[in-house]
Amino acid sequence: MHLKIPWTLSVKSRLALVLTLLFTAAIAFVTAAQLREIRTSMAEVLSAQQVTLLTRVADEVDEKFRARAAALGSVAAHLGLAMAQGPAQAQAALELRESLPTMFDSVLMISMQGQIVVSVPLRPELAHVNVAQRAYFKDTVSSEKGVISAPYLTLSEGKPVVMMTAPIFGQDGRMIGILGGSLSLLKSNFLGNIGTTRVGRSGYFYVVTRGAHPLLVSHPDQKKVMTPAAPASKNSSSALAQGGFEGSMEGTNSTGLRALMGFKQLKETEWIVAAVLPTDEAFGSIAATQEHMVVLATLIAALISVVTWSFVYWLLVPLAAVLEYVRAKKMNGAIVERIPVRRWDEIGELTHEFNNLMAAEEVAKQALAANEERLLTITDNVPVLIGYVDRDQRYQFNNRTYEEWFGVAQKAFLGKTMLEVLGHEEYSAIRNDIGEALQGYITSRERELKLRGHGRYVRATFIPDYGPESQVRGCYILAYDVTEQKSIEKKLAFLAQHDTLTELPNRAAFNERLVLAIARTRRTGKVFAVMYLDIDKFKLVNDTHGHGIGDQLLSAFATRLTDSVRSTDVVARLGGDEFVILVEDLAVASLAAVIAAKIIEAMRTPFIFEELQIVASTSIGVAVSTSEPTDQSGPELLQEADAALYQAKQGGRNSYRIAGAETLA
C-alpha cells in the first residue's frame, strides 16, 4: 500500500505556510540581532569595568610594596649601631619599631653569613635557620639594595611567602646585615586578600609571576599557591599576559571555563594581577532570555502552523491588518505602543505574544540601562578622577569627582575641551601625555595640580580607547590624589638624613657635607674646621634626673649650639651626647679656636627645665684642614677631632683642644 503525498497545495495553504515561516524567521532574526547587540554592549561595559578595577588593584598593590620598601629602608638606616652591639640589643631596637609588624607577618634581621639573629615577633626556632642560599639574600648582598623576592617556601614551616629586604650599614658605611619583612601568601594580608576577593558572585582575582616558569602567587584555591601556572597551550590569554598584554578579553582558561579575563602588570615586581569573571555570570541574563526567546518562537511557530492551516481564510483579514500595523510602525520608527488585539483568536494570541516580545526587549534595554547606572554610581563614588575625551579632546564623560575637585557642576564639563577646563598653564603640563595617549600609548605621570587655590599631587594615567578597526577614538583619564603619600615620603626622606630628637643632620648627612667641604677646599684653598664635642658628665644627668630630662638637655644643647655658630655652618648629632660641627671658609686657621671658645662660653649659662636647673659644660676637639688637603679624608679629620676631644677630657673638661696645634701655630 502506497501513501499518496499531495504535492499541490492550495493558495490558502501555501499562504498559511509562507506566513508561518516568515513570521517565525522575523522573530528569530530580530531577537538574535538585538540580543547580539546587547551582549556586545554589555561585554564592552564589563571589560571597561574590569580594566578599571584591575588598574586600581594593581596600583594599590604597587603602592603597598613601595610603602613597605620605604618603611624597611627607613628602619634599617637606624639599626646599624644596635646590630653591631649584638643580638640582644638588635632585638630590643627592632621591637621598638612598632610600625613594621603591622606591615609584615614577620620581621627578621639577618647577619652577613645568612644567620637569622633577630625575629619580630620573637621566634627562637629561627635562630638555627640560615638563609645564605636564598636568592633574595644573595641579591641584597651583591647589590647592597633592597629587593622583593620571588615566592618561596620557608625552611622552618614550608609555607609560601614573599620577602622584602633592606640592607643594614654599620657606622663605617659597610653593610653588616639585612632587614627583612616576610608576607605570607596564605594569611590575611594585602597579598593573601587578593585571592579571596570576589569579582561578582563567582569570579575571582589571582596573581602570577612573570617569566619562563610562572608560579601562582595568590589564588582563591590556596592549594594552587606556589604551583606552576597553566601552560600557554591550555590558556592562551595568560600567555599573552606573560608577553606584556594588559587589558580584558574573553577566552577559555586551563580548566575549560569560558570567562572574561583581565590582566594588569605590576610595576614594583615581575608579577601580573588577573581577574576572571565567568561568562555564565556575566551574560547569564542574556543567555536565559535567548533560551526563552527560542522556546517562545518555537511555540508560536507551531501554534501558527496548526491554527492558520485550518482558519487561514477567516484569519486573513485581521492578519493583514496586523501586518499593515507593524509595517506602519516600522516605517515611523521604533515600535513602542502595544498593537491592539482585535479579537482573542490565534491571530490575537500572536499579537499578544508579539507585544510580550517587545516588552521583553524593553526589559532587556532597561537592564542594560540599570547596569550603566550602577557603573555611574561606582565611578561617582570612588575618590578617583575618571573621565573620557574624544579625539578633539572634548569631554564626553566625567564622574562626580570632577565637581568636587574643580568646584564646577558635573554636567558643565561635557562638550568642553581640556584646555577650556584646565586653563593654559595646567593644560600645557599634560599636553604631551594626552598626545601620546591619542597616538595609542598608555601614559602615566605624577605632577602637582593647582585647583581652586590649593595644590594636589596627582598620579594621572591616560589610556587610549580603540575602535573596532583599531583606530584611537579618544582616551580615558584616571587621576589619583597622592598628596598624603607625598607628604609621608618627604617625612621619611627627612628622617633618613636627620636625628629624630634634635632634628639636626645625622651622621650620614654630615659625612656627605664633609666630603663636599673637602672638595671645595681643594678647589678654593680655604681651610675649614671639624669640631667634635660632647656634654661633660652627661651620663650623670641621665642617672640623676632620668632619660626624659636627658633628652630635654640634648635638645636644648643642640639649639644653643646651633645659635652659637653661623647659619652656614653644619651642626650634626652623631648619637648619644656626641655632636660635630663643620665650619667652612675660615680666613685663618686660628679662628677655629675663637669659635670653640665661644661655644664653651655659651654653655656656661645653666639650662633650666621648669624648676630644675642644670649646669652642663662641654669639651671640644678641633681638627683643621690644610689649605691643600690632598691626603686628608673625612674619616681622618673626624678621628683627629675625636683624639683632640679626648685630650680636652683628660685636661679637665670644659675646654677645647686643637689637633696639631703646634703645626698650626
Q: Catalytic amino acids?
A: 577
**3-state SS class at 535:** strand
Classify residue 125 by its DSSP letter. Answer: G
Residues contacting 633, CB < 8 A, separation 6+: 518
What is d(CA 385, CA 400) in angstroms, rounded to the nearest whole number? 8
Q: What is the CA radius of gyration of the chain?
A: 38
Distance CA 564, CA 600 (A): 10
Helix then strand count (H, E) for the chain reads 20, 23
Residue 238 and residue 463: Cα distance in Å, rounded?
Answer: 21
Q: Is the dihedral of CA 571, 574, 579, 581 positive or negative?
A: negative
Question: Which position has the grid cell 491592539?
Answer: 340
How many whole angstroms from its chain centre is CA 387?
20
DSSP string for residues in 378-430 = HHHTSSEEEEEEETT-BEEEE-THHHHHH-S-GGGGTT-BHHHHH-HHHHHHH
- CA 433/CA 426 separation, integer angstroms: 12
Residue 58, Ramachandran bin (φ over 0: left; ψ between -120 and 50: alpha; else beta): alpha
Q: How far apart are CA 28 and CA 299, in angstroms?
A: 12
* Cα separation, 306 vs 270, whole angstroms: 66
> In degrees rounded to 5, what are phi and psi of residue 546?
95, 160
Residue 214 has what DSSP assignment?
-
Strand partners, 479: 385, 460
Measured in residues, the chain has a length of 665
8 Å CB contact between 38 and 368: yes
Q: Which amino acid is at 60?
A: E
